[in-house]
């Protein structure tokens, strides 16, 4: 069981540390809302993973991996990332960004948690990973230890996300005082462009499935 836990933890880290929309959004919101941001974003992410794990285990996973599902999820994901990216650019343009967490703390923790769910569910690569790789890991865990094996796999997997994004959030929020508001705005613009860039990838893949 220890080997299964470590395996799921390492596999989880291999995905969590990769650059993507979740990491980009974590950096942006951590500067604005403090060190707890990464934790709540990853909790939202973990709740969605729990739902997906259950759906895949009962046999719904094969439908999530179809071209139609990838097309729909990719289009929605692209739209969400474009919206988030332009919202960040708008905040910079309208001078609505601040390095004061008290001034920037308009979003409640519940909204950040919901953002974790939305960023995950609209990411086609996330759905595909769970429908293909996740399915094999779930069945391997189940064949080894039954339901307990799946629970161990899930705990190890979500701990990788929670620990990594919490770590990133703490580092970013604790070093924010070292940058000026001008540099901060440049960072926000770069992060926004990254989200828009990721959205282009989502749209491109969706068109590929459509064709």
Residues 2-24 have pLDDT tens digits of 889 998 998 888 778 777 888 88
34: left (phi > 0), else alpha (psi -120 to 50), else beta? left
At 95 the pLDDT is 80
Q: Which residues of 2-18 are buried (b: 16+ CB within 10 A; e: fewer)?
A: eebbebbbebbbebbee
pTM: 0.80
pLDDT at 41 over 80: yes
Give the chain's mean pLDDT. 83
* pLDDT per position as a tens digit, 42-100: 999 999 999 888 888 887 767 776 777 778 888 888 888 898 889 889 888 888 766 66
At 210 the pLDDT is 65
pLDDT band at 108 (very low <50, low <70, confident <90, very high): low
Within 8 A by CB and 6+ apart from 142, the residues are 57, 149, 150
Work out whether the CA dihedral 138, 140, 145, 146 comes out positive or negative: positive
pLDDT band at 161 (very low <50, low <70, confident <90, very high): very high
Q: What is the domain extent for residue 112?
A: 2-210
Instruction: Read off the pLDDT of each residue in 91-116 and give the average, rounded to a whole number.
Output: 68
At 104 the pLDDT is 47
At 110 the pLDDT is 55
At 177 the pLDDT is 72
At 157 the pLDDT is 92
Q: Please give, one letter per residue, the 3-state secondary structure of the chain.
A: CHHHHHHHHHHHHHHHCCCCHHHHHHHHHHHHHCCCHHHHHHHHHHHHHHHHHHHHHCCCHHHHCCHHHHHHHHHHHHHHHHHHHHHHHHHHHCCCCCCCHHHHCCCCHHHHHHHHHHHHHCCHHHHHHHHHHHHHHHHHHHHHHCHHHHHHHHHHHHHHHHHHHHHHHHHHHHHHHHCCHHHHHHHHHHHHHHHHHHHHHHHHHHHHHHC
| Number of domains the chain is built from | 1
Q: Which pair of tokens denotes residue 146?
A: 């039954």
């Amino acid at each position: 069981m220890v080997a299964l836990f470590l395996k799921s933890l390492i596999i989880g880290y291999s995905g969590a540390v990769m650059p993507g929309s979740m990491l980009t959004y974590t950096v942006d919101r951590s500067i604005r809302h403090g060190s707890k941001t990464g934790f709540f974003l990853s909790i939202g992410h973990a709740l969605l993973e729990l739902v997906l794990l259950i759906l895949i285990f009962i046999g719904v996973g094969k439908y999530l991996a179809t071209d139609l599902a990838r097309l729909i999820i990719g289009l929605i994901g692209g739209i969400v990332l474009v919206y988030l990216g332009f919202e960040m650019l708008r905040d910079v343009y309208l001078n609505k960004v601040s390095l004061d967490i008290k001034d920037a703390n308009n979003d409640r923790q519940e909204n950040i948690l919901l953002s974790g769910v939305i960023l995950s569910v609209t990411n086609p690569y996330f759905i595909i990973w769970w429908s293909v790789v996740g399915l094999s890991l779930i069945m391997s865990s189940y064949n080894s230890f039954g339901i307990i094996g799946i629970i161990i796999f899930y705990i190890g997997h979500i701990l990788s996300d929670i620990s990594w994004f919490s770590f990133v959030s703490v580092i970013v929020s604790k070093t924010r005082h070292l940058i000026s508001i001008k540099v901060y705005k440049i960072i926000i613009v770069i992060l926004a462009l990254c989200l828009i860039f990721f959205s282009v990838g989502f749209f491109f893949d969706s068109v590929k499935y459509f064709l």
